[in-house]
Amino acid sequence: MDGLVNNAGILIGKAFTDYTSDDLKALVHTNLEGYMYITQLVVKQMLAQKRGGSVVGVTTTALSNPLSGMNVSVAMMTKGGIDGANRNLAIEYAKDHIRFNLVVPGIVDTPMHKDNPKDFLKTLSPMGTISSAEQIADGIVFLTEAQQVSGEVLHIGGGSQRGRWTPFSGKLLALFRVLMLSYGRCAVNTVRTIWKRQHLPDHNPGIGTKGLRYRSTYVGATGTAPVPRWRNCPKGSG
């Protein structure tokens, strides 16, 4: 036994308050118990063989980048458990050269999405693409054969783990015009911060001495290149 791929899993989507104990049992039984029991058997065999091995799990980008309208909070409890186990097992069995890694797909062209419009599914990826099953398999094979890679998470979803690119909506543009009339350049900071909060998870506005302090990038009136800078906005402008 040289490698294991933990690809079995189910997804139950509904409002958090609508999940039942049967839903939880089904999710735990397949997503967590399935991972645990088969991995235990494989690791025991690998330890007996004394030549190392690879275990690759499969989760989803919905764990790190939830989407509005996609209500899968309880299902993500189980997917998060696999993520945590992967990190810990990679350390626990490092001396035995048994490697643990995760593949995290975005939207994949499988029968699960046969009733979903492909044009809509493409909008969930910054690259505007849908992954094929073969592309996911390529990532799994890579992690299985990469002898020096362990404890890693490989995202395969056209950048969907970082959010999605959505142009300014009409309402946001209208807000931008109103703020520009009221607060001038500081409005650029305010509107872009609203946009960044939707698309850049690592954007962390801080609190300045004169109100909200935003990190912004904007182009001057002469059309010069974007210049990153800090800007203190008056209270109430954010």
The domain ranges of the chain are 3-162, 170-232
Pairing of β 98-105 and β 153-156? parallel
Which residues are CB-neighbours of 27 under 8 A, at least 6 positions away? 10, 12, 74, 75, 77, 78
What mean pLDDT is reported for the chain?
Answer: 75
Task: Write out pLDDT tens, residues 29-70.
Answer: 999 999 999 999 999 999 999 999 999 999 988 787 777 777
Which string of b and e fits 24-56 if b means at least 16 CB within 10 Å? eeebbeebbebbeeebeebbeebeeeeeebbbb
Position 197 pLDDT exceeds 70:
no
Segment 190-198 shows an average pLDDT of 47
Local confidence band at 17 (pLDDT 50, 70, 90 cut-offs): very high
> pTM of this prediction?
0.64
CATH architecture of 3-162: 3-Layer(aba) Sandwich (3.40)
177 vs 103: which has the higher pLDDT: 103
